Amino acid sequence: MFRSAIFLGIAVLAVSLSTAMGQSVMRIENEDLGLISRTGVEAIGSLICDAGEAEYTVTEEEIFKLIFVNPTSGRGAWVETVTVGANSAPDCQALRLIKKYVKATKFEDCGFTSWYDNVTNVLTYSNEAKVVVRLPSPSSNIIRRKTFLVPLNCVGAGSAVVSVPTKWFEQFFQTGPLFEEFGVSVSVKIRKEHRAEAFGELDVFVNVLTVELDRPYDETYEIIGHRVFTTPTLNQTSTPSTEFISSRGCNPYPDFVTVTKVRNDKFIYEILDFGIEDSDDYYFHVEVNLCAKGIPGSRVHCVETCVGSRMLRVNDAPNKAVATSGSLSAMGVPRLIIGSNGVPVLTSRQ
Position 256 scores a pLDDT of 95
Distance CA 199, CA 132 (A): 44
Closest-CA residue to 102 (of 169, 55, 49): 55
Asked if residues 166 and 33 have their Cβ atoms less than 8 Å apart, the reply is no
Distance CA 210, CA 269 (A): 6
Asked if residues 58 and 44 have their Cβ atoms less than 8 Å apart, the reply is yes
Position 162 scores a pLDDT of 45
Asked if residues 208 and 193 have their Cβ atoms less than 8 Å apart, the reply is yes
Please give the model's pTM, rounded to 2 decimal places: 0.72
Distance CA 7, CA 103 (A): 21
User: Could you tell me which residues are beta bridge partners of residue 257?
Assistant: 271
Closest-CA residue to 334 (of 251, 277, 270, 291): 277
Asked if residues 331 and 325 have their Cβ atoms less than 8 Å apart, the reply is no
Amino acid letter, 143? I
- Classify the phi-psi angles of 132: left when phi > 0, otherwise alpha if psi is within -120 to 50, otherwise beta: beta
For residue 119, the tally of other CB atoms under 10 A from its CB is 5
Q: What beta strand segments (E) does 120-220 contain?
A: 122-135, 144-156, 162-168, 172-174, 184-198, 201-213
Distance CA 256, CA 234 (A): 24
**In order along the chain (350 residues), what is the average pLDDT of each group of 10 residues?**
30 40 65 50 83 85 83 75 85 87 87 85 87 82 83 66 62 47 72 89 91 80 80 91 83 92 87 92 85 61 50 47 81 90 87
Asked if residues 55 and 166 have their Cβ atoms less than 8 Å apart, the reply is yes
Question: How far, in whole angstroms, is CA 152 from its chain's centroid?
Answer: 18
Distance CA 156, CA 119 (A): 13
Position 282 scores a pLDDT of 92
Q: Is the bond preceding residue 151 a cis peptide, omega within 30 degrees?
A: no
Closest-CA residue to 267 (of 184, 350, 189): 189
Please report which helix (H) or strand (E) contains residue 27, including its range.
strand 24-30
Question: How far, in whole angstroms, is CA 304 from its chain's centroid?
Answer: 28
Distance CA 199, CA 345 (A): 13
- Classify the phi-psi angles of 40: left when phi > 0, otherwise alpha if psi is within -120 to 50, otherwise beta: left
The H-assigned helical ranges of the chain are 60-64
DSSP secondary structure, 285-350, as one string: EEEEEEEETT-TTTGGGEEE-S-STT--EEE-SS-EEEEE---EE--SS-SEEE-TT--EEEGGG-
3-state DSSP assignment of residue 93: strand
